[in-house]
Structure formats: C-alpha cells, structure tokens
Amino acid sequence: MLNLHVVEARFGDCFVLEYGSGASPRYLLIDGGPGEVYGPYLKPLLEAIKSRGGALDAAVVSHVDDDHIHGLLDLLTDLQWQRVREKPEVIAIGELWHNTFSETVGSDVQRQFSQFLDRTGPMRALLGQSSLMSRDIAQGDELTRAARTLGVPVNSRFGQPSTITVDRLPRPIVLENLRLHIIGPSQASLEALRTEWLAWLAAQEEQVPAEPVEGVARALRRADASVPNLSSIMFLAQADGHSVLFTGDGRSDHILQGLTQAKLLDADGKCHVDVLKLPHHGSKYNTSPELFQRVTADRYLISASGKHGHPHKDTLRWIVEAAHEEGRQVEILATNWTSSLHGLLESHDPQTYGYQLTVMPEDAHDTVLKLTPENAPSCPFRLCRHG
C-alpha cells in the first residue's frame, strides 16, 4: 500500500505517507507546516491515525524553515505537555530525521555569522526577520532538544556523523514495503553553500560599516532563502511499484544531480514518478523547463497559498507544456486556489493541453492520494495478482 495524505499547510509543507499493508498501515510524517497548521489540520489527522492503532515510524524535517518546522515543534511541545501531565499522547514517534544547520553548513559558518551580527550592533534589530540570524536555526535546535527530552532518537540509524546526504546514504532506507532513496542534499552542494557563505561573510568584514543597512538586510534575506532551502532533505519514496518524489524547498539542478547520483535516471537521463511534490511551493527559481522534461509525473503536487507568489505562473506553464509536448495527461493538485492557478486556466485550456486541475476544498483539513488500489497488492487475506 502507498497513500499520501496532503495536509492543508497554508504556505508551507506537511504530508503523511502511509504504507505497509491495509491490515497494518505504517506512517511517516514529512514536515509540519508553519504556525496555525498543527492545531487545526495536522493534529486531527494524527489523532485519527492513532485511533486506528497507528504511530509514526519517523518524522522528517526537510529543512529548518519556519513553514516546514513550526508544526513539528508544536507537535513535540504538545507531546511534552501530555507526557508531563500523564495525559494520553497524540501519537507515538519512532525517530526524528533532521539535518542541523551546524552539521550541514558548518559550525564555523554559524560562529562567524553570529560574530558578524554582533558587529552590526544596532542593525541587529532590523535583521530580526532573518531566519539565519536565529529563529529558524533556534527552532531546529529546539526540535532536537524536544525530541531528546521525549526519548525520540534523532538520526540514530545513520551513524556518525549523522548528516543525511545522498553521499552518506547511497542505499535506500527500508521501512516495511517502503524504500526511501535520498537524493539530496549532496556533500558537494553543502560544500558549495558553505564556501559561498564563508566568502560572503569575509566580504562583509570590509563592507559592514560602509554599506547601507538596507543593502545588508537585502543580502541577508537572499541568503536566508537559499541556505536552509538548498540543504533540504529530498527523497524518492517507493512502495509496491508506486512513487512520490519529495523535494523540500530544493532547486531543480540539485534534484537532477541527486537523481543522477542515486542512479535513479534511465539511459535518457529521465525518470517517471506517480507524484512530484513541487520544490519550494512551485517557485520559478527552484524549477525549470528541463526539470519537467526529465522528471515526469502523473500528478504534480503544490502546497502553497499564493504567498510570495507561489506557485509561479511560469512553473505551472512549464509543467503543462512539457506534458502536452509528450501527449501525457497529467493532474495538477494544489492545496489552495491562487491567482496563478486561475491564470493558468485562462492561458492554457485544460482540454487543449490535456491536464486536470484539482484544488483542495476550502474546508478540507487534508486530502488523501491513494496510489495503490484498495487491498492490493499487500492484502494478507487474498491472493494478489500484482507484484
């Protein structure tokens, strides 16, 4: 069995993958969305899973951005509260998988970065929105601490150093019938990111006193967007002949590199999946026509609300045009209506281009994509003809 529960995660990501057998389903949580997602949307789904006797084999944090990590932190806070008061717990979590900022980009970058912020003095307040400054990284550290308090092992199956990268995990992680092929981040992309950051910080040594405050703030915002995003854990989940590609907030060239490194591309340098979760909520800076020509899917999943212009109209156009060129019928599944989706319907007629657009109903907490037929192929009570 392979089902994907898509949680209404506003402008972030939150998914629950269901695998195992119909009689004994297993679950993996991928990201927890931003604030206001756990209470109204994720918690009811986890409670429903628990009421059926389910638990989370693992919770995965793709990267330490608020729109991915906040809901997970809310879940662990809830669990801590329930543990202290000896109340029934929302759900059991087997493991936490998470790349810390200092492990991925390097503690020297983190140290130099805080020294840089110390030097900026009064500008610090202006940079309060910078996730690199503290908030998201602190949330990442807080998440690790909360997991340890609850006795949830963090990356324990990966050995030391425990960073999750395509280089360190060349073989798939096996959970029952589920195979997880890590495709990102790679050591090379993390190293490039680290070098870029050290160079940027070195340049600031000279510039900080002279550069206008807004210039530095702008550069930081740009770095904010790139550093955690580009260290996103990305993986291909496969079970019973079906697959979902999770891309976090990664970038198209890194996705293609990772798929190549994990030997998941065919002789033409292509691969096909059932569901492609669009990177970075469908930002045009994280996708490309080449991505959609080489990684094809039956369904393109977009978790976005229109915030930051996500999904971008060019991304939507590239998906539809790549599929149309090959005569593939595809479905675009979005968690919320956005102006770019309305625009796509106007510029690219679904009938002519051969695509279907499905948007989650406004009052839905989540929706489930059933990738395997009911009771097949792992139903223990009847002979299955598949696999």
User: Which residues form the interface with Zn ion (CB under 5 A)?
Assistant: 67, 249
Nearer to Zn ion, 57 or 66 (CB): 66
Nearest distance in Å: CB 326, Zn ion: 29
* Interatomic CA distance for residues 164 and 334, integer angstroms: 29
Contact 14, 37 (CB under 8 A): yes
Nearest distance in Å: CB 183, Zn ion: 18
Nearer to Zn ion, 95 or 249 (CB): 249
**Cα 344 off chain centre by:** 24
**Cα 291 off chain centre by:** 17
Nearer to Zn ion, 287 or 296 (CB): 287
Nearest distance in Å: CB 246, Zn ion: 12
Nearest distance in Å: CB 157, Zn ion: 26
Task: Tell me how far apart the terminal alpha carbons of the chain are, to the nearest angstrom.
Answer: 11
Nearer to Zn ion, 54 or 71 (CB): 71
Residue 102 sits at φ, ψ, to 5 deg, of -65, -30
Residue 179 identity (one-letter amino acid): R
DSSP string, 3-58: EEEEE--TTS--EEEEEE-SSSEEEEEE---STTSIIIIIHHHHHHHHHTT--EEE
Nearest distance in Å: CB 283, Zn ion: 9
CA distances from 275 to 186, 202, 235, 245, 331 (A): 22, 42, 12, 6, 9
Nearer to Zn ion, 158 or 285 (CB): 285
Nearer to Zn ion, 67 or 366 (CB): 67
Nearest distance in Å: CB 255, Zn ion: 15
Helix, strand, coil % over all residues of the chain, rounded to 5: 45, 20, 35
Count of CB atoms situated within 10 Å of the CB of 235: 27
DSSP 273: E
Nearer to Zn ion, 136 or 249 (CB): 249
Nearer to Zn ion, 20 or 71 (CB): 71
Nearest distance in Å: CB 53, Zn ion: 32
**Which secondary-structure segment (H or E) carries 356?**
strand 355-359
Nearer to Zn ion, 67 or 95 (CB): 67
* Interatomic CA distance for residues 178 and 25, integer angstroms: 11
* Interatomic CA distance for residues 109 and 363, integer angstroms: 44
Nearest distance in Å: CB 137, Zn ion: 15
* Interatomic CA distance for residues 306 and 292, integer angstroms: 21
Nearest distance in Å: CB 303, Zn ion: 8
